[in-house]
Amino acid sequence: MNAFNQIFLAIKALEAGKLVAFPTETVYGLGADAENDEAVLKIYAAKGRPADHPLIVHVSEKADLSYWAKKIPLEAQKLIDHFWPGPLTLILNKTEKVSDIVSGGEKTVGLRCPSHPVAKDLLSQFKGGQGGIAAPSANRFGRISPTLAKHVQDELGKDPRLAMILDGGASEVGIESTILDLSRLTSHGASILRPGKITSQAIAKVIGVDLLNREVGQDAPRASGTLLSHYAPKTRVVLMSPDQLDAYIANHPQKRLGVMTYSKANVKGAFFVLKMPQDKALYSHQLYAALRQLDDLSCDQIVVEMPPKENDWEGINDRLRRAAH
Ligand code: TXA
Ligand code: MG
């Protein structure tokens, strides 16, 4: 079936209160009509996700954001002009149009305008471009996000609530969007709840560094992606610096180790070695598929040689730490 018909069917399914998995440039999403509570509840059920974990509302470029957010601060508008469509989610104070089921009981809403052409088509045609699609990553709660349609099929394909999976190839970015809280700008400034491809430095360039560096209090909004254990394979993951790696492998001769290397070309004594790219965009693009591949080998442990600690690797390092927790 051609892409046009697929989008048409996906919109029919969303209108009927069913779930549709769709590709975005970050990871695949599990979508429902954000204005249909019954449909949104199916997302929580299909994922096995606790009800107090809010969902991001995906919108098209032409969406009227004042429908979803009470106020669009100047900083938000600057970031939208600069980074949308793209992998940046903004947390803003919600209007009464956003139900508590979508916001997980919070007074805020996460808004994101994805750049993947299939997501764009879907959003621009859903309710004439003014609809919202509530969507978490299309994986079971706590597990690795899907970056291929096949990953969604493997994890949720048998769920009767899922009407269809739109296949848009491999997600280019490969890790979830950067989440920036702008809901308490005057008191708390802007704070990154989840790092991603769009780095704190890139955001600071647009809204100024002072706003980003204010102290974040304990009452910061919760983001399930900020749970310490998340994005995790079933196999235990351990992180190593390059100089620890050889000794670790030598000290565990009885264990089947699946090793993900970054700088090392030669690793002796491992059961399986997967070499990751040097380039950070390629590394992030391949990260979740690599973790899935190693997880499928039924090793005793997945051993990861840590990539660089530089600022622009913050999203990747964050996901590796959570996978290992
Ligand atoms: O790249 C992405 O963001 C992907 C694609 C599908 O768009 N979506 C995604 O959704 O990663 P999810 O639900 O797996 O992770 C979204 C995170 C969760 O940790 C959630 O708690 C947080 O965003 N979040 C959503 N709305 C929020 C809000 N109003 N306040 C605080 N955190 C929020
Ligand atoms: Mg997720």
pLDDT digits (tens, 9 = 90+) for 272-324: 999 999 999 999 999 999 999 999 999 999 999 999 999 899 999 999 999 99
Handedness of CA 103, 136, 139, 224 (dihedral sign): negative
**pLDDT at position 7 over 70:** yes
Average pLDDT score over the chain? 93
d(CA 37, ligand 1 centre) in Å: 17
> Could you say which ligand is closest to the alpha carbon of residue 230?
2
d(CA 141, ligand 2 centre) in Å: 7
Cα separation, 154 vs 6, in Å, equals 20
**pLDDT at position 225 over 70:** no
Angle at 119 between CA 115 and CA 120, to 5 degrees: 65
**Token output for 210:** 């002072």
Cα separation, 317 vs 119, in Å, equals 27
The CB of 184 under 6 Å from ligand 1? The reply is no
Higher-pLDDT residue of 228 and 202 is 202
Amino acid at 129: G
The CB of 110 under 6 Å from ligand 1? The reply is yes
The CB of 183 under 6 Å from ligand 1? The reply is no
How many Cα neighbours within 13 Å face the side chain of 253? 1
Containing 239, the helix (H) or strand (E) segment is strand 236-240
**pLDDT at position 230 over 80:** no
- Predicted confidence at residue 209, as pLDDT, reads 84
Amino acid at 44: Y
Cα separation, 263 vs 307, in Å, equals 8
Burial of 183 (0-12, 13-18, 19+ CB in 10 A): buried
- Predicted confidence at residue 216, as pLDDT, reads 52
**Cβ neighbours of 269 (radius 10 Å):** 15
Query: For ligand 1, atom 33, which residue shows the shortest CA distance?
Result: 223
Write down the pTM of the prediction: 0.95
Question: From the alpha carbon of 106, which atom of ligand 1 is closest?
Answer: 29
Kindly list the distances between the CA atom of residue 90 and the CA atoms of 8, 93, 94, in Å, as whole numbers in the listed order. Answer: 28, 10, 11
